[in-house]
Amino acid sequence: MAPDEGRAETALLLRKTRFQDLLDHLVQAGYRVIGPTVREGVVTYDEIHRVEQIPRGWVDLQEPGKYRLRYDKNNPFWFSFTPGPISLKRYLFPPTQTLFRVRRDNGRPRAEAVIPDPPRYAFLGVRGCDVRAVAVQDRVYIDRQGQFSDSYYAKARERCLIIAVECQTFADTCFCTSMGSGPQVQSGADLVLTELPDAFVVRSLSDKGQAIVSALELPPAAPEQVAEADQAVREAAGSMERRVDTTDIRNLLLRNLENPRWEEVAKRCIACANCTMVCPTCFCFTVQEVTDLSGENIERRRVQDSCFNPEFSYAFGTIVRQTVSSRYRQWLTHKFATWYDQFGTPGCVGCGRCITWCPVGIDVTEELQAIRNSDGERGASA
Amino acid sequence: MTEASVNLNNGGSMHEGTETVLEPTTTAHPLTPVFTRVVRVRRETKDTWTIWIERPDVYPGHRPGQFNMLYVPGVGEVPISIASSQRESAARIAHTIRRVGPVTSALVALRKGDYVGIRGPYGSHWPVGSAAGHDVVVIAGGLGLAPLRPAVVELLKLRRKLGALALLYGARTPEDLLYQRELAKWRQVLDFQLLVTVDRGTRDWHGHVGVVTTLIPGISFDPSRTIAFICGPEIMMRFAVRELLSRGVPPNQVYVSLERNLQCAVGFCGHCQLGPKFICADGPVFPYDVIEPYFLVKQL
């Protein structure tokens, strides 16, 4: 049986007129629904209750260093936009978290662990790249061969529901097909929706997803509807122009640690850390000691950090990565080379956020190609 | 030594939902310390102290070359290598600390009876056990002697199983030498080549002056059967490794201990990466052949 046939057999149909029922059911089932919505000129994730909050008809224009939204009242599609700056990282691995508080019993300090109790999130409208990003983060935060498991992430993850919507349009910055993360969603989500002008083809990939569609008593989708939806996604995938050649990319980068290109890109890079903040897989954090004036209330927090900050590499009285070129090299080689060593996958999912949100428009795909084109060249070391 | 730094914070807390507070012993986050008492403080040099703390009940025990995270509430937390061997005492743990920033200043200001937070031990260790049957060359620069001290203690207990045994130790000045009484004791040990050098002598210094690598020609060892443990400033380790390799010590028998910014100690916060390695979890002690491709790249 061809995979598409299997997909077709189990595909259900959710009419757009019933989409509010889905939202209502998620709330009744105890979920806090986090979906795409327009705010401050971008499509972001936020809590939504009404179908009107979904950016129906909105289309984004993304280019290196540029993001614009436009509304097309004739567009019957609800999900014609690609990822905005916010990813699920914001919810699953919040930028600031308290780790413990210090209490004193007769002068003896005691660290009281703060055991987080995250909400049951239902993430709606998640794109293939972001579904993959969660799978990548699972390896970072949970699946570390017993080394380490982040309790907040693990709990939030276990409780959450992911409803993906396959992309049928792409921004100029998207390259998910190169990273194998989209636009089709085959795993990692509980429900996968594929949009038609008046309905969604719905597939369930998990028991949690099955429970939702069963409760909604969705009818099966007609084979023609399934074929139409799949065809639209396939055609869109074929139209994606931006590409990364990932052939042997780990070794390519590791043998080019002293390629002169790192200094070239550093002439433009302003080390602002935007790319790491919008990256759905960047996980680095720093720790902060927070105390009041009395010194009695002390807590320790972890806060999202970036390898572009100079102090990030502070050690033995100096900054190890003094130059911007060395920091850019760290970021890019981590995503496309050493991430494989550490977690068995690339650290990039091809969402293109780092390209769009780079204020000077540095394009990661262009940098990778430039390294490939100058493979083996050596310059002054970074 | 790393000082906790405060930097990027992209907005307010996203910590939603309620919090439940539990006792730390059971389900604590791996970044949660336990508190224990300081039992002894000894000043080593003008800026360096050794602090012994009571071993907490939950502390699993350590091996030479590993480190602990020490925490002073309200100030912060730093990685400190462990300066004592369990074979000296199972009840107390020594840390030799140089005063460089706010946290280390708070640590060296602790007195007997004060509380300090600890979590650990973390990281890889010197393979003391596999030194049997080998000549052993230990090379320490400055504070790098601290994580090597427990290795030397254990090597001396293994002495009969080893070939030649040498410790080469370099400090900036005679006043910067750590563990001076112990060095004097080690000098009396038969069949233990202990050579000490300083970068700058003083009027009453009659010993060697020069960088620690200049001591290597002064010891006898059979390179092919030598295992070497090296810790000190990176520039010193580069030269020491180069010298040993040029004499024919196999690179996989040379071990170096590296330092980077460490904040979580569990391979997670990302600061200590050197190429694919997390210094905290994969290191700090590495066989040289494993780390060489990254160790030699500047600003990696």
Residues A48-66: tens digit of each pLDDT: 999 999 999 999 999 999 9
What is the mean predicted confidence (pLDDT) over B203-219? 94
Q: In the prediction, which pLDDT does A293 show?
A: 83
Question: Over chain A, what is the mean pLDDT?
Answer: 93
Question: Under a CB-based contact definition with an 8 Å cutoff, are residues B110 and B38 in contact?
Answer: yes
Q: Which residue of A has its CA nearest to B122?
A: A147
Q: Which of B32, B72, B271, B296 would best serve as a mutation to test chain A binding (most A beta carbons within 10 A)? A: B271
Question: Which residues of chain B from 24 to 83 reach within 8 Å of chain A, CB to CB?
Answer: 24, 27-35, 73-77
Rg (CA), chain A: 22
Long-range contacts (CB closer than 8 Å, 24 or more residues apart) made by B181-188: B182/B149, B186/B152, B186/B156
Residues of B in contact with A102 (CB under 8 A): 73-74
Contact of A319 with A310, CB cutoff 8 Å: yes
8 Å CB contact of A287 and B76: yes
Contact B33 A330 (CB under 8 A): no
DSSP string, B238-260: HHHHHHHHHTT--GGGEEEE---
In chain B, beta strands by DSSP E: 19-22, 34-45, 48-54, 67-72, 76-81, 92-98, 115-122, 135-141, 165-171, 193-198, 208-209, 226-231, 254-257, 273-274, 277-278, 285-287
pLDDT of residue A141: 86
CA distance, residue A44 to nearest chain B CA (Å): 15
Compute the distance between CA of residue B152 and CA of residue B238 in angstroms, rounded to an integer. Answer: 21
- Are B28 and A330 within 8 A, CB to CB? no
The shortest CB-CB distance from A99 to any of B22, B32, B234 is to B32
B289 has which bridge partners? none
Q: Distance from first CA to last CA of chain A, Å, rounded?
A: 53
pLDDT of residue B28: 63
Q: What is the 3-state secondary structure (H, E, C) of chain A?
A: CCHHHHHHHHCEEEEHHHHHHHHHHHHHCCCEEEEEEEECCEEEEEECCCHHHCCCCEEEEEECCEEEEEECCCCCCCCCCCCCCCCCHHHHCCCEEEEEEEEEECCEEEEEEEEECCCCEEEEEECHHHHHHHHHHHHHHCCCCCCCCCHHHHHHHHHCEEEEECCCCCCCCCCHHHHCCCCCCCCCCCEEEEECCCEEEEEECCHHHHHHHHHHCCCECCHHHHHHHHHHHHHHHHCCCCCCCCCCHHHHHHCCCCCCHHHHHHCCCCCCCHHHHHCCCCCCEEEEEEECCCCCCEEEEEEECCCCCHHHHEECCEECCCCHHHHHHHHHHHHHHHHHHHHCCCCCCCCCHHHHCCCCCCCHHHHHHHHHHCCCCCCCCC
Peptide bond into A183 cis (omega under 30): yes
* Best to test chain B binding among A91, A144, A320 (most B CBs inside 10 Å): A320
Chain A CB within 8 Å of residue B235 CB? no
* Option in A151, A277, A329 nearest B10 (CB): A277
How is the beta sheet containing B67-72 ordered, strand by strand?
Answer: B76-81, B67-72, B115-122, B34-45, B48-54, B92-98
A171 has pLDDT over 50 = yes
* Residues above pLDDT 90, as percent of chain A: 87
Domains observed in chain B: 32-122 (2.40.30.10), 128-257 (3.40.50.80)
pLDDT given for residue B54 in this prediction: 97
What pLDDT is stored for residue B26 in this prediction?
A: 35
- CA A45/CA A23 separation, integer angstroms: 15
CB atoms A119 and B16 under 8 Å: yes
The predicted structure's pLDDT at residue A107: 85
Q: Does B77 contact A302 at a Cβ distance shorter than 8 Å?
A: no
Who among B29, B260, B266 is closest to A100 (CB)? B29
From B102, which residue of chain A is nearest by alpha-carbon distance? Answer: A289
Could you tell me the maximum CA-CA distance found in chain B, to the nearest angstrom?
A: 67
A365 Cβ neighbours under 8 A, 6+ residues apart: A175, A178, A242, A243, A244, A355
Mean pLDDT of chain B: 90
Q: Would you call B298 an interface residue with chain A, using a CB distance cutoff of 8 Å?
A: yes
Q: What is the pLDDT, as a whole number, of residue A261?
A: 97
Q: How high is the pLDDT of residue B277?
A: 96
**Residues whose CB falls within 8 Å of the CB of residue B172, separated by 6 or more in sequence, listed in order:** B142, B198, B199, B200
Please state the separation of Cα A308 from the chain's center in Å.
Answer: 19
Residue from B89, B87, B83, B5 nearest B44 by CA: B83
Cβ neighbors of B292 (< 8 A, separation 6 or more) are B251
Number of CB pairs, chain A paired with chain B, less than 8 A apart: 214
Does B190 lie at the interface with A, CB-CB under 8 angstroms? Answer: no
Q: What is the mean pLDDT of residues B272-300?
A: 95
Cβ neighbours, 10 Å, residue B243: 17
Q: How far is residue A177's CA from residue A351's CA, in Å, rounded to a whole number? A: 10
Report the C-alpha gap between B127 and B66 in whole angstroms: 11
Q: What is the pLDDT of residue A380?
A: 56
Pairing of strands B67-72, B115-122: antiparallel
Lowest mean pLDDT among A13-27, A165-179, B28-42: B28-42
How high is the pLDDT of residue B22? 33
Write phi, then psi, for B291 (nearest 5 degrees).
-100, -15
Residues of A in contact with B34 (CB under 8 A): 111
Q: Where are the domains of chain A?
A: 3-97+115-238, 249-282+307-373
Distance CA A337, CA A330 (A): 10
Name the residue in chain B with its Cα closest to that of A322.
Answer: B299
Query: Which pLDDT score is estimated for A113?
Result: 85
pLDDT of residue B15: 34
CA dist A295 and B110 (Å) reads 17
Residue A108: closest C-alpha in chain B: B115
CB pair distance less than 8 Å for B74 and A317? no
A159 CA to chain B: closest CA distance, Å? 13
Residue of chain A whose Cα is closest to the Cα of B14: A94
Judge whether B25 and A111 are in contact, CB under 8 Å: no
C-alpha B187/C-alpha B185 separation (Å) is 5
What pLDDT score does A146 carry?
55
Interchain CB contact of B113 with A (< 8 Å)? no
Neighbours of A349 (CB within 10 A): 30
What pLDDT was estimated at residue A152?
85
Contact yes or no for B270 and A283 at CB 8 A: yes
Find the mean pLDDT for residues A135-140.
93
pLDDT-derived band at B13 (thresholds 50, 70, 90) equals very low
CA distance B230 to A43: 54
Give, to the nearest 10 degrees, the angle between helix A223-238 and helix A3-10.
Answer: 130
Residue from A367, A173, A95 nearest A252 by CA: A367
Instruction: Give the closest residue to A67 by CA, choosing from A82, A45, A48, A49.
Output: A82
Reported as a single tens digit per residue, the pLDDT across B84-127 is: 999 999 899 999 999 999 999 999 999 999 999 999 999 999 99
pLDDT at A1 over 70: no
Q: How far is B142 from chain A (nearest CA, A)?
A: 12
- CB-nearest to B100 from A109, A317, A381 is A317
Q: Could you read off the pLDDT of A308-342 as tens digits, one per residue?
A: 999 999 998 899 999 999 999 999 999 999 999 99
Cα of B77 vs its chain's centroid, Å: 16
Of A94, A283, A333, the CB nearest to B14: A94
Residue B24 pLDDT exceeds 70: no
Kind plus residue range of the DSSP H or E element containing B150: helix B145-157
* Angstroms from A311 CA to nearest CA on chain B: 7
- Identity of the residue in B12, B19, B74 whose CB atom sits nearest the CB atom of A295: B74
* Lowest mean pLDDT, pick from A18-32, A176-190, B17-31, B226-240: B17-31
All residues of chain B having their beta carbon less than 8 Å from the beta carbon of residue A113 are 21-24, 27-29, 32
- How confident is the model at residue A9, as a pLDDT? 57
Q: Which residues pair with A215 in a beta bridge?
A: none
CA distance B82 to B28: 23
Give the separation between CA A13 and CA B93, rounded to whole angstroms: 65
Residue of chain B minimizing CA distance to A94? B14
Q: Each residue of B150-161: pLDDT tens digit?
A: 999 999 999 999
Residue A264 pLDDT class (50, 70, 90 cuts): very high
Residue B200: what residue type? R
A316: phi then psi, degrees, rounded to nearest 5: 35, 50
Residues 258-277 of B with CB under 8 A from A: 259-264, 266-271, 273, 275-276
What is the band of A145 on the pLDDT scale with cuts at 50, 70, 90?
A: low
How many angstroms away from the CA of A231 is the closest CA of chain B?
39
